[in-house]
Chain A
Amino acid sequence: MAMAQQTVNTAIDSLTAALKSNIIPNQEYFLQGSILDSSVEVLLHRLRGLCDNVDTNLETFHDHEMCFSIRGPNNTQPLQLRVRRSLDHNGMPMQLRYIGQPEIGDKSRPTVLRNSIDIGTSNTVVEFLTELGCRKDFEYSAKGYMFRKGRMKITVFKVFKIDETRKMMSSGGFDALSPLTHSYLVELSVLAPSGQDAIADDMRCFAEQLRPLVQLEKIDYKRLVHGP
């Protein structure tokens, strides 16, 4: 008891202790794919059959995500922070999230891996970030469905552009959303403490079950940056 008081007495200490004992889920294993609007019903049907939350109704979400960035002192790569808020549940806490560079790894690794830290915040987080010197890079709204299978999270959602011209209106532009593509983005992800690579194999198995409907893959982000 006395020892516990000695070692864990401030928030920072307990955080470091948690980090050391590797209990913080700060790694995100994920796979991505997409499905055409015309086939999304089939996918939803299959997911309802495969996933845990079958007995409840289809779980939907509609979020607004803003990506902020801030440059380091010597013009290094900008640090990106994302703020997400729910549009269909007003008054819920906002989410602030840091995502690191995705690591593709070699062929033996079944999923992409990236650092991910998120925290719930109050709705003044945008002002706070702006005061810090962050600048809004881009924003979008995501609307779709959410499934769970054990520790895995599966989201099927459409990405919408936010209409700048209507932004000043009372609805904030969210009533006239224009979809980016004719497809839904499908993401399969697990948040876990580092080193739990076994879950990645489970994810690969799950992804196999969605073929050939959706091809969940490791997307090479480096190629996206330089690509057309």
Chain B
Amino acid sequence: MQREEKQQDAVLEAVISRVNDLKTSIGAMIFKVENEYETLNWPNFLDNFALISGQLTSLTKILSNEKAPALRNFTVLPLMLKPDLDENLARVTEGRLTTFSHDIVPDYLRTKPEPDAELKMMQLEHKANCVTYETAQKQVAAMNKVVGHVWDLVNKAREEWESEAGSRSGAAQTFSLTDTPLLVAAISMGKGLKHTVAPGAMMGGPPPGPQRGPGALGPPQGPPGGIPGQMGPMGKAPSAIKTNIKAAGQMHPYR
């Protein structure tokens, strides 16, 4: 007997602490919704929800544990009702409940649904009992059919969606991996743009093109000097040639 009581105490304590956790997180969420609704983002909100749902699950686990006594078998018996302020009660309930009076008690200690709801339940149950076994089976089958249909629809939509997403990322390449460095090199150091080099070389000035020291010294200067003569008739070709020469010149640092 004593052991059972101890167990009951332990379980109650656990339940109370879980309920308190739940209360704090719900409170935090309400606070967030009321005060941070401008900055609150959806993932954050869902995180809160997930927390609460996790806490509910663990609460249910405790309650459905084998060791936990069936709480519904215990009775709470109001011994004394009075319409006066009860400071102790107010403190325990954090100010939510100040009197333990006749108005409130039926609501707080309710173990049955409200009479209206109970009546409605009765009616429904009665109706359910009136249905014959066969019609019930028929209705269940129809319901299953509808649900199965919806399930199929959802599954089909998901499959389509996933295959579409898959094919999109697989098939259509929207960017070129080689073009990015090409463009960046062009605007940052003029790679492939430097056909203005030729006139400078012709005038005999120092090589204007070379960007970063050593690689550009020496050999590459020869060919650009030769090309300008052909520059006119050849149109755009020289630029391509020169890019090649540059590339060769830049091999130097590796030697």
Interface segment, B134-142, B143-151, B178-186? Answer: B178-186
Interface residue tally of chain A, by bracket? 35 or more
CB contact under 8 A between A181 and B247, given known A36-B174, A225-B212: no
* Chain A hits for B236, CB < 8 A: 161, 163, 178
A12-71 at interface with B (beta carbon < 8 Å): 32-36, 38-39, 42-43, 65, 67, 69
Number of A-B contacts (CB under 8 A): 120
Q: Is the CB of A227 within 8 A of B193?
A: no
Q: Is the CB of B179 within 8 A of A164?
A: no
CB contact under 8 A between A183 and B180, given known A36-B173, A215-B175, A225-B211: yes
CB contact under 8 A between A139 and B192, given known A39-B175, A185-B187, A224-B184: no
A142 is an interface residue with CB less than 8 A from chain B: yes
Chain A residue nearest in CB terms to B239? A161
CB contact under 8 A between A212 and B169, given known A135-B208, A137-B190: yes
Q: Is the CB of B184 within 8 A of A213?
A: no
Interface residue tally of chain B, by bracket? 35 or more
A89 is an interface residue with CB less than 8 A from chain B: no
Binding site for A on B (CB under 8 A): 169, 172-176, 179-196, 198, 200, 208-209, 211-213, 231-232, 235-236, 239, 247, 250, 253-254
Binding site for B on A (CB under 8 A): 32-36, 38-39, 42-43, 65, 67, 69, 77-78, 102, 135-140, 142, 159, 161, 163-165, 178, 180-183, 185, 212-215, 217, 219, 221, 223-228
> Which 10 pairs between the two chains have the least Cβ-Cβ distance?
A138-B190, A183-B179, A39-B174, A34-B180, A185-B183, A138-B193, A224-B185, A138-B194, A34-B179, A181-B179
